Amino acid sequence: MPSMLKSLKLLSDPTRLRILMLVGSEALSVAELQEILGMGQSRISTQLSQLKTAGLVADERSGKNNMYSCTAAPDLMEVAQLAAEEVPEVAADRASLRHLLGKRKDSARAYFDELAGRFGKDYVPGRSWKALAEALLKVLNHRVVADLGAGEGTLAQLLAQRAEKVIAVDLSPKMVEFGQSLAVQNGLTNLEYRIGDIEDPPIDAQSLDLAILSQALHHAEHPQRAIDAAFRILKPGGRLIVLDLVQHHFEEARELYADRWLGFSESGLAAMLEKAGFQRVETVVADRETSGPNFQTLLGIGERP
């Protein structure tokens, strides 16, 4: 266990304290810390190294970047937060962090706005009809279904053939507008589109029989929050189906497809489902693409008790 005295001495430096406050709120890369703090890379890296050696932060590889998060004990963080109130720059740091997180989300939104109207015609990693079919076989008949992160709603329109009501949620207003027009054209009066974030979908608690995250979770800023939200809006006995990419190293996906995460491992997805409270969790690699970069499709299912 890190020494409290040594930790407090380390945090007497305002820069290290500011960094700890930031990574205590959000996992951040060195480049993002540079943007918020307005400091050079070498200075920030040095401070992070000292905090890591003291056991106050940890880093995890995400593509080309190391993402730093806080690992300090709660009692130390309580003291650190009190001390941070005496550092004038901390308030500005919080505002800059909110702005940075907004830019992350805006980047993904702009990407999908550009795709609206041609999304179904272009290649999308992991959009495998084989995988979708395997998921749909498990759907059977459900009354109220939500397609979370629906895009233009290809899957939602398929679900509307059998469900009593389908709610398609997407962050992009243009994508929602396009999907709704398709639903009208196809006479799908039981398909409703709503603008919203999959981490806080505009759906009443315990109102769904089935929720689906199809190739949407790797766009979420906080995947666990999206799965927690799905748990909230499902009725007892309701199920969540997750279709996503198996963890990969195709870094270009961040630029090409606005991916926030480079897929998930089977164990990682199962752990998130269980943490949210789901039971009878199952995961399987449902498809493997034969051409490069050889994406694999991960299927996960959980039931709300």
Q: What are phi and psi of 49, to 5 degrees?
A: -60, -40
Please give the pLDDT value at position 92: 87
Does one domain contain both 20 and 132? no
Look at residue 295 and tell me whether its pLDDT is greater than 80.
yes
Please give the pLDDT value at position 141: 64
Tens-digit pLDDT profile for residues 68-90: 999 999 999 999 999 999 999 99
- Residue spans of alpha helices (H) in the chain: 4-10, 14-25, 30-37, 41-53, 74-84, 89-115, 129-137, 154-159, 173-185, 223-233, 253-256, 266-276
291 in Cβ contact with 285 (< 8 Å): no
Residue 303 identity (one-letter amino acid): E
Does 90 map to a domain? Answer: yes
Please give the pLDDT value at position 123: 62
Does 111 map to a domain? Answer: no
Tens-digit pLDDT profile for residues 139-195: 566 799 999 999 888 889 888 888 899 999 999 999 999 999 989 998 999 999 999
Does 289 map to a domain? Answer: yes
241 is in which domain, residue-wise? 119-303
Report helix, strand or coil for 188: coil
State the CATH number of the domain containing residue 48. 1.10.10.10
Indicate the number of domains in the chain: 2
H helix count then E strand count, the chain:
12, 9
Average pLDDT value for residue range 39-49: 93
Please give the pLDDT value at position 135: 67
Does one domain contain both 131 and 255? yes
Percent of the chain with pLDDT over 70: 90
**Per-chain mean pLDDT for the chain:** 88
Please give the pLDDT value at position 152: 80
Does one domain contain both 32 and 175? no
- Residue spans of alpha helices (H) in 116-186: 129-137, 154-159, 173-185
Residue 213 identity (one-letter amino acid): L
Does one domain contain both 90 and 130? no
Q: Cβ-count burial of 291 within 10 angstroms (0-12 exposed, 13-18 middle, 19+ buried)?
A: exposed
Does 112 map to a domain? Answer: no
- Residue spans of alpha helices (H) in 152-235: 154-159, 173-185, 223-233
Does 52 map to a domain? Answer: yes
Tens-digit pLDDT profile for residues 27-36: 999 999 998 8
Does 114 map to a domain? Answer: no
26 in Cβ contact with 94 (< 8 Å): no
- Two tokens at 303? 């039931």
Average pLDDT value for residue range 49-76: 90
State the CATH number of the domain containing residue 281. 3.40.50.150
Tens-digit pLDDT profile for residues 179-210: 999 899 989 999 999 999 999 999 999 999 99
Does one domain contain both 280 and 141? yes
Contacts by 185-189 with C-beta closer than 8 Å and gap 24+?
A: 186/157, 188/157, 188/160
Percent of the chain with pLDDT over 90: 60
Contacts by 129-134 with C-beta closer than 8 Å and gap 24+?
A: 130/286, 130/287, 130/297, 131/243, 131/286, 131/287, 131/297, 131/299, 132/158, 132/214, 132/243, 134/286, 134/299
Does one domain contain both 86 and 134? no
Please give the pLDDT value at position 268: 87
- In whole angstroms, what is the distance from residue 299 CA to residue 61 CA? 23
Does 110 map to a domain? Answer: no
Tens-digit pLDDT profile for residues 234-278: 999 999 999 999 999 999 998 888 899 999 988 889 999 999 999
Does one domain contain both 140 and 66? no
Report helix, strand or coil for 174: helix
Instruction: Name the domain boundary from 102, 127, 154.
Output: 102
| pTM for the structure as a whole | 0.68
Please give the pLDDT value at position 247: 92
Instruction: Name the domain boundary from 75, 102, 129.
Output: 102
Does 144 map to a domain? Answer: yes
Query: Closest Cα to residue 47, out of 77, 73, 96, 12?
Result: 12
Does one domain contain both 128 and 266? yes
> What is the greatest pairwise CA distance in the chain?
68
